[in-house]
Structure 1
Amino acid sequence: MAELSTSVSKWVVLCGMLAPPASMAVILAPIPTIRKIITERSVMNFPLLPYSSMLANSFLWTVYGLLVGQRKIWATNSLGFILSIYYFYQFQQFCPAHLTNLPGTLSQHIIGVTFFIIVTALIPFLFGEKAPDLIGKAGVVICSLLFFSPLSKLKSVIQMKSARSIPLPFTISCCINCLLWTVVGYLQMDDFFVYFPNGVGLFFALIQLLLRIMYGDGPLSSKNETKYLNQV
């Protein structure tokens, strides 16, 4: 029994060491997709939601990490905030203003993210000691949204029998990252606001991997894709 406990402890410590680098992998994962958007000078059928939710999510967890004194949380998310600004900026450079399947419109994403960041920044000053709890609860929602965001194209994936709108690097990184943070959040930090959203994220990421395995890039031609996009 003691040997089993020691093995579990070593596993948790290892997960704790690997969790920050795994978060970095998630933060860097959108780079191939963004490079493709820049090269093609088009957002194609990619949703904006992964980048807008990453922007809001990373800012929120930077604030939360600072409030609870968890360097592992605020250090990685502060870098994520900087990079997600870059991702968002590059996406909007090539995103037509009339698109409504991002989901929503570009202006709605800009207004929503800006409002969220301002409110999050004000919470510590307005609520004092209650701020970590409030931000943590908001973090559960936003973090779940971030991991769910690639599935915002679920309807089009099934209709077109093509999962290329689900970014594979981001999905694989999310699987590994969420597994590690679920273990660390539950067994090391004992922080519901860490392990619960990451457990949800692991579930969503596995669904996305399943869709990629089932459909791959699919038989979809550019002509059919254009036809579908015109319908939405």
Structure 2
Amino acid sequence: MLIPAPHPFVVFAGNVAPLTSILLTLSPLPTLLSIPRDNSEVSGSDDADNDKVNLLPLSASVAKNPTSKVTISSLPLLPYSSMAVNGFLWTMYGLLLKANPIIFPNFVGACLALSYIVLFAMKSSPSRDGRHIDLVQKASISTSLWARTDLPSTFRTHLTVGSSILMLGFTCYKGGLRNQLAALATLVCGVMFISPLAKISSILKNKSCPPGAIPLPFTIATAANCFLWSVYGIKGVKDIAVTAPNIFGLFCAFAQAIVVFLYSPRKGKKERGVIA
């Protein structure tokens, strides 16, 4: 019995989806590069006792000055931490399947996400006279990035939970537990797709979506990527582990687009404020 050839669009989706996955992981870069670093300052003295951070929490500074400029402190870490974990889990899943279209884009995405986390940490660190203070050498970082509880949760929690999930995923990979690894990767993938909405409660409360809170390039790339992978998952590989998270991601992208459209400040209108 002859197996019918796949539809040309299904073939196209399977060929282009890995490329859109890489574009998806590249999409946060313009936002992270354009958003200014944290406005925390360290006193000018080189004395260790004087290396105190003059920190005014962003939420407090915004309350005093609602038109203050958006900084890295207004952005959540979850999109980048979940992207890193997601990329490594799907890389392991692709290795079990020996599927290069899954392995390559996810490994690239995981490496890019790690660089985003480093950039996020650098921009969240205190500064002295406008200069960056090395994260390893200065313990004062504990009063800025490590003390943030709106990422959501804390930076230390992201590291702990992310490492634990990767260890569990590696255990599944070494044991050849394909279904269990797929379930874990699907769960983390769902977290990644919904993560830009981590600030949704603040956005709805303030009726304002500050620049970078929900990166529009990420939203567009998510929609295109999830659509192509959904088509390929349904009609191509017929794998629910590929299809389910991407259909969910498609709905998340639409939700993000609606929030950005409704609550982003319009040109020519007075700035409605910045959320913390």
Shared fold, TM over 0.5: yes
Q: Which has the higher helix share?
A: 1
CA contact (8 A) 1:150 1:166 kept: yes
Deviation at 1:220, TM superposition (A): 4.4
Superposed CA RMSD:
1.8
Name the SS for the 1:84 alignment partner. helix
1:200 to 2:228 alignment: no
What is the aligned partner in structure 2 of residue 183 from structure 1?
Answer: 231
Q: 1: CA distance between counterparts of 2:192 and 2:147?
A: 23
Name the SS for the 1:47 alignment partner. coil
- 171, 183, 193: which one aligns with 2:219: 171
What is the aligned partner in structure 2 of residue 115 from structure 1?
Answer: 164
Deviation at 1:59, TM superposition (A): 0.3
1:157 to 2:154 alignment: no
1:69 to 2:98 alignment: yes
CA deviation string 1:142-182 (max 9, x = no partner): 11100000011111111122223111110110000000000
Matches within 5 A, 1:32-111: 32-37=30-35, 39-41=36-38, 42-95=71-124, 96=144, 97-111=146-160
**CA radius of gyration, larger in:** 2
CA deviation string 1:86-105 (max 9, x = no partner): 00111122332221111001
Q: Given the superposition, is the C-alpha separation of residues 217 and 44 from structure 1 closer, same or farther in structure 2, using an over 3 Å criterion?
A: farther
The worse-fitting range, judged by mean Cα deviation, of 187-196 and 16-25 is 16-25
Q: 2: CA distance between counterparts of 1:105 and 1:158?
A: 22
In structure 2, list runs of 5 or more residues that go unmatched: 39-70, 125-143
Query: TM-score, with normalisation over the residues of structure 2?
Result: 0.74
What is the aligned partner in structure 1 of residue 137 from structure 2?
Answer: none
In structure 1, list runs of 5 or more residues that go unmatched: none
Q: 1: CA distance between counterparts of 2:106 and 2:15?
A: 16
CA contact (8 A) 1:161 1:220 kept: no
Using the aligned pairs only, state the percent identity: 33
Paired amino acid for 1:75: F
Paired amino acid for 1:68: L
